């Protein structure tokens, strides 16, 4: 075979390979590019609010990590009925402990602990060590799984991170109490809840009237307001944003809250009288 013939055959072969590659490339298609992100409010509705993007009525506390911060508990296994030092830190994206927090409701860190059946509520104010670790004494008297919420503000942005604590043993879980218009605090004060029918996505005023032996009881300032309210959703224990609308110095305390979804919520009200903090709980139905 002559040299010219061999070169001709080689050129034909190269052409065939090129054509085949082009056909295959069209069949497979180009490398996909990143799809544009959906608009922040695409779809709207309660699903978005439940994910924590609902503005003033957002829920928080569904994850242990968010926005580059992570809640890290030194030991999530706690003994039953014995005081233990709860230790945790808020770590940044590099794993370093965050040390600087805003003052919110007169404190730099609020810790809420509640068992998964929404019993055993505690509100703690830990102290921070030099290495950034937060510590607080904690006694969990019953077995079961508990939810720990670290509620704080950093650079003007409020955040709530959460994780589970465990107490070994057989848990005697309780059903959530039915909604009722009145309840007694742990210090014997009678509290009446006046609340309109609550609907998802609509702001509702929750007004509490406090009395003792039939006489109005005047509240003192607690955490910079007339009282403090924590709302947790039954099931996933989502932590709701609630803000007071009344100051201390009367027998009534009011809060504004927007419940993001239908269902039942447990309301934990705390107020102070004669230097002692009182705690009382209500069940709120939303539908």
Same domain, 64 and 163: yes
Q: Taking residues 256-265, what's their average pLDDT? A: 95
pLDDT digits (tens, 9 = 90+) for 15-30: 443 334 443 333 333 3
Average pLDDT score, the chain = 84
Question: What's the confidence (pLDDT) of residue 43?
Answer: 30
| Number of domains, the chain | 2
Residue-number span of the structural domain to which 280 is assigned? 182-286
Q: Output the domain CATH number for residue 235.
A: 2.60.40.10
Same domain, 157 and 201: no
Q: Is the pLDDT of residue 51 over 60?
A: no
Same domain, 57 and 159: yes
Kindly state whether residue 16 falls inside one of the protein's structural domains: no
22 Cβ contact partners less than 8 Å away, ≥ 6 residues apart: none
Q: Is the pLDDT of residue 213 over 70?
A: yes
Contact between 38 and 182 (Cβ < 8 Å): no
Same domain, 200 and 133: no
Contact between 143 and 167 (Cβ < 8 Å): yes
CA dihedral 115, 119, 124, 126 (to 10 degrees): -10
For residue 55, the 8-state DSSP code is: G
Assign 246 a pLDDT band (cuts: 50, 70, 90): confident
3-state secondary structure of 102: coil
Same domain, 145 and 209: no
pLDDT digits (tens, 9 = 90+) for 133-164: 999 999 999 999 999 999 999 999 999 999 99
Kindly state whether residue 22 falls inside one of the protein's structural domains: no
Structural domain ending residue among the three candidates 141, 167, 193: 167
Q: Taking residues 198-217, what's their average pLDDT? A: 95
**Which residue would you say has higher pLDDT here, 86 or 7?**
86
Nearest CA-CA partner of 278 in 184, 141, 139: 184
């Amino acid at each position: 075979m002559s040299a010219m013939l061999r070169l001709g055959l080689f050129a034909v072969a190269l052409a065939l390979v090129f054509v085949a590659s082009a056909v295959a490339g069209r069949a497979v298609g180009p490398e996909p590019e990143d799809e544009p992100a959906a608009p922040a409010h695409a779809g709207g509705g309660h699903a978005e609010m439940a994910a924590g993007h609902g503005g003033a009525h957002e829920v928080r506390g569904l994850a242990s990590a968010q926005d580059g911060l992570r809640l890290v508990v030194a030991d999530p296994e706690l003994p039953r009925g014995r005081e233990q030092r709860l230790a945790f830190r808020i770590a940044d994206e590099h794993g370093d402990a965050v040390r600087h927090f805003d003052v919110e409701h007169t404190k730099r860190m609020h810790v809420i602990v509640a068992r998964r059946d929404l019993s055993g509520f505690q509100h703690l104010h830990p102290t921070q060590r030099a290495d950034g670790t937060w510590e607080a004494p904690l006694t969990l008297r019953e077995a079961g799984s508990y939810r720990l919420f670290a509620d704080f503000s950093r650079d003007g942005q409020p955040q709530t991170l959460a994780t589970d604590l465990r107490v070994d043993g057989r848990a005697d879980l309780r059903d959530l109490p039915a909604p009722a218009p009145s309840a007694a605090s742990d210090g014997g004060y009678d509290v009446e809840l006046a609340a309109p029918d609550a609907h998802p996505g609509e702001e509702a005023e929750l007004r509490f009237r406090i009395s003792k032996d039939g006489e109005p009881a005047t509240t003192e300032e607690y955490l910079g307001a007339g009282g403090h309210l924590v709302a947790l959703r039954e099931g996933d224990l989502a932590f709701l944003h609630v803000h007071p609308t009344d100051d201390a110095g009367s027998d009534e305390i009011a809060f504004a809250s927007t419940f993001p979804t239908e269902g039942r919520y447990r309301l934990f009200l705390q107020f102070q009288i004669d230097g002692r903090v009182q705690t009382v709980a209500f069940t709120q139905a939303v539908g």
